[in-house]
Structure 1
Amino acid sequence: MEIKDLQKEVDNWISQFEEGYWHPLSMLARLTEEVGELAREINHLYGQKPKKPEEPPGDLPGELADILFIIVCYANSLNIDLEEAFSNMMEKYRKRDSERWTQKTKL
């Protein structure tokens, strides 16, 4: 699925509700909340705070997908083409950071 397809699917889903997209500040709060949930799962899986035995297993892919959903909502509500934004961002990194790290050698 391409990014534009993600944006269209989310817009179709959100558009069926009168409330529509949340205000940008509310979406930022939601994004922060979701990143916190991702951080908690990462800490349980790879950090020094294991889950308690009675806690259910986490869903790392689901937490990442929640963040992606909010980012797509944010972009849609502000009329941002994420494919174009991503392409521009990658070009920036290619120019700015191409000499920053050690390139892998080809076998």
Structure 2
Amino acid sequence: MDQNDITLNQLQNEVNDWIQTIGVRYFSELTNLAILVEEVGELSRLMARKYGDQSFKSGESAEQIPSEIGDILFVLTCLANQMGISMQDVIKSTIQKNTKRDLNRHKNNPKL
């Protein structure tokens, strides 16, 4: 791991520190869920233009995609922090669940 890389635990701490010092406080969980959906919609709009059939509007570009992914990760981290959920723990659990469920599923999929 590069020394500039951060763990998910460090990410959660960094976002929490930002909220406490700059953001004043967390928005409510419901507000953050609405913001998360909004950010996913913004990413979807850009993806539809880059990879789908729509063209970019004035002022939009595919170069905004990383920023939208960052916004999604930030708000998702806020939600995890608010609910006392360790992102490190849940991603490990999710990978284990998916591995058990899909161990041979994708290998045996003729569509892939």
State the TM bucket, normalised to the shorter chain: 0.7 to 0.9
| Deviant stretches of 4+, over 6 Å | none
Give the Å deviation of 1:57. 2.2
Stretches of structure 2 lacking an aligned partner (at least 5 in a row): 1-5
Deviations 1:10-62 (A, max 9, x none): 0000012574111111111000100000001001111111113x334241011
Matched, 1:46 2:51: yes
| Structure 2 residue corresponding to 1:57, chosen from 61, 84, 101 | 61
**Correspondence for 1:78:** 83
Matched, 1:30 2:30: no
Provide closer, same or farther for how the CA distance between residues 40 and 68 of structure 1 changes in structure 2, counting only shifts above 3 A. Answer: same
Number of equivalences: 102
TM, length-normalised to structure 1:
0.88
In 2: Cα distance, 1:18 partner to 1:83 partner: 23
| Structure 2 residue corresponding to 1:66, chosen from 63, 66, 71 | 71
Superposition pairs for residues 9-28 of structure 1, below 5 Å?
A: 9-16=14-21, 19-28=24-33
Give the Å deviation of 1:96. 0.9
In 1: Cα distance, 2:19 partner to 2:81 partner: 10
Stretches of structure 1 lacking an aligned partner (at least 5 in a row): none
Matched, 1:93 2:95: no
Q: Would you say the 8 A contact 2:43–2:69 is kept in 1? A: yes
Q: Would you say the 8 A contact 2:46–2:61 is kept in 1? A: no
In 2: Cα distance, 1:31 partner to 1:71 partner: 7
Equivalent position SS for 1:88: helix
In 2: Cα distance, 1:7 partner to 1:41 partner: 27
